[in-house]
């Protein structure tokens, strides 16, 4: 009898990772995936387009939970996810990353005694002021299978007493990037739309609460980006949270090249043709490396420490890059198959 895996997604990075895993499910006929979209990213430009572009199966359940504070959002997700799990009776729940959807999925499952598999387990920024840090720590501590992209992630779990069910598998984002980059070559016209030339611009994203929740912080990071834009154009696909914060604080984006949020294929094209990347996104730091583009992380810490150590990334308040070298830990682009084989073995 086929084993049922309930996949929970809700935000852009999770759609991208889920796309790689969903394609790999085709090679595991004894397991069936049921996709649940919490609705955390509710803007069609931030959500629906990813399902269309990356060949992700349409969600069987769409919960439409978005807006409100962290506690309110997580609580509403928890309530609705519990109902879905009671109806579907999955053999395992699969969660990704560190969003409110991640935490709600983990809590709903563990309370129903359903085993949880966490992709991107063990990542730590060691900044408990970040909601994402709380989400990832709590999810790890209730998960049965923990799939780590790097040895440092394994070490973080071991330091917290988590040693069982831990797998170092490489980075599923590498799988996804390889697929998207090839597909984007013929499918994306974003450079023509924005009148950009290869190698003559930088691409930026800005959305983290630590950068957008106060006028002082948002002013600081926008001033930094505007200064960089004096060297070459800085393209900023504008996240709804950042747009709203700027309007609330009376700030402008003068000197930056703005566009609406872009799909994953357009972003893959923007990255592959860019000169540099400036971002507060965890996932984009790695994607910059996969495209071999120097990155500046617009935060005071990063969970992807190996990108710093290998010279492809730096924190925005630290000036020096180290000598660049390859990051072997991210694997060979088959992390998705390694993950599903481990789940298959666990479920018998």
pLDDT for res 67: 82
Separation of alpha carbons 169 and 300, rounded Å:
27
The tally of CA atoms less than 13 A away on the side-chain side of residue 37 is 24
Strands 92-96 and 116-119: parallel
Most distant CA atoms of the chain, gap in Å:
61
Nearest to 258 by CA among 295, 278, 289, 233: 233
- What residues contact residue 13 under an 8 Å CB cut-off, 6+ apart? 96, 97, 99, 281, 282, 283
The predicted model scores a pTM of 0.82
Structure tokens that stand for 298 in this block:
């617009």
Distance of CA 142 to the CA centre of its chain: 20
DSSP 3-state assignment of 161?
coil
Chain position carrying tokens 């060979």: 332
Q: Given its phi and psi angles, is residue 331 left (phi above 0), alpha (psi -120 to 50 degrees) or beta? A: left
Mean pLDDT per block of 10 residues along the chain (348 residues) reads 94 87 95 94 61 79 90 96 98 96 98 98 92 96 97 97 98 91 90 97 95 97 98 95 96 97 91 97 92 96 91 92 89 95 97
pLDDT for res 15: 86
Taken as a whole, the chain contains a residue count of 348
Active site residue 207: yes
C-alpha triplet 95, 96, 100: angle, nearest 5°: 85
Separation of alpha carbons 202 and 6, rounded Å:
38
Could you tell me if 211 and 221 are in contact, meaning their C-beta atoms sit under 8 angstroms apart?
Answer: yes
User: How would you class 276 by CB atoms within 10 Å of its CB: exposed for 0-12, middle for 13-18, buried for 19 or more?
Assistant: middle
| 227-234 CB contacts, 8 Å cutoff, 24+ apart | 228/202, 228/278, 229/255, 229/256, 229/257, 230/255, 232/200, 232/201, 232/202, 232/275, 233/196, 233/200, 233/201, 233/202, 233/257, 234/201, 234/202, 234/203, 234/204, 234/278
Provide Rg for the chain, Cα atoms. Answer: 19
Nearest to 205 by CA among 302, 137, 282: 282
Which residue of the set 118, 207, 239, 337 is catalytic? 207
- What residues contact residue 127 under an 8 Å CB cut-off, 6+ apart? 133, 300, 301
pLDDT for res 42: 62
Separation of alpha carbons 202 and 117, rounded Å:
36
């Amino acid at each position: 009898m086929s084993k049922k895996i309930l996949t929970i997604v809700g935000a852009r990075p999770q759609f991208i990772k889920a796309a790689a895993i969903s394609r790999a499910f085709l090679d595991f006929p004894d397991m069936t995936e049921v996709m649940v979209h919490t609705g955390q990213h509710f803007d069609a430009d931030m959500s629906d387009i990813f399902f269309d572009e990356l060949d992700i199966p349409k969600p069987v359940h769409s919960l439409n939970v978005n807006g409100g504070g962290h506690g309110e959002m997580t609580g509403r997700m928890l309530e609705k996810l519990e109902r879905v799990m009671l109806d579907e009776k999955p053999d395992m729940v699969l969660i990704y990353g560190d969003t409110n959807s991640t935490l709600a999925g983990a809590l709903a499952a563990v309370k129903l005694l359903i085993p949880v598999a966490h992709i991107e387990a063990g990542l730590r920024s060691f900044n408990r002021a970040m909601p994402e840090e709380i989400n990832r720590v709590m999810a790890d501590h209730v998960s049965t299978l923990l799939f780590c992209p790097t040895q440092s992630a394994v070490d973080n779990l071991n330091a917290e007493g988590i040693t069982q069910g831990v797998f170092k598998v490489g980075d599923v984002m590498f799988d996804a990037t390889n697929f998207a980059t090839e597909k984007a070559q013929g499918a994306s016209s974003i450079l023509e739309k924005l009148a950009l030339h290869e190698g003559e611009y930088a691409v930026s994203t800005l959305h983290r609460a630590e950068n957008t929740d106060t006028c002082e912080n948002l002013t600081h990071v926008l001033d930094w980006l505007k200064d960089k834009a004096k060297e070459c154009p800085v393209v900023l696909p504008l996240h709804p949270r950042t747009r709203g914060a700027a309007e609330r604080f009376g700030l402008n984006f003068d000197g930056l090249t703005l566009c609406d949020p872009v799909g994953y294929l357009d972003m893959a094209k923007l990255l592959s043709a860019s000169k540099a990347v400036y971002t507060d996104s965890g996932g984009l730091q790695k994607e910059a490396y996969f495209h071999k583009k120097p990155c500046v992380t617009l935060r005071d810490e990063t969970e992807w420490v190996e990108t710093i150590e290998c010279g492809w990334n730096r924190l925005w308040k630290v000036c020096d890059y180290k000598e660049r070298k390859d990051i072997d830990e991210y694997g060979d682009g088959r992390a998705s198959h390694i993950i599903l084989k481990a789940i298959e073995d666990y479920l018998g």
